[in-house]
Amino acid sequence: MSNILLIIGASSDIGLELIKSCEEKCLIIAHYNSSNQKLLDLKKNISNELITLKANLESENELEELLAEIETNYGIPNKIVHLAASKIENIRFKDVTWGDFEKDITVSLKSIVIILSRFLPALAKEKRGSVVVMLSSYVTGVPPKALAHYTTIKYALLGLVKSLASEYGGNGIRINAVSPSMVNTKFLSNINEKLVEISAHNNPMKRNAMPSDIIPAINLLLGEDAGYINGVNLPITGGSVL
Q: What is the per-residue pLDDT for 185? A: 87
Q: What are phi and psi of 4, to 5 degrees?
A: -125, 120
What contacts 38, CB < 8 A, 6 or more positions away?
11, 16
Alpha carbon separation from 168 to 106, 158, 163, 171 (Å, rounded): 24, 15, 9, 5
Q: 24: pLDDT confidence band, cut at 50, 70 and 90?
A: confident
Look at residue 179 in the predicted model and tell me its pLDDT: 96
Query: Which pLDDT belongs to residue 242?
Result: 58
Q: Is the pLDDT of residue 189 over 80?
A: no
Counts of helices then strands in the chain (DSSP H, E): 8, 7
What are the beta bridge partners of residue 8?
A: 82
- The region of weakest confidence among 25-39, 107-121, 139-153, 217-231 is 139-153
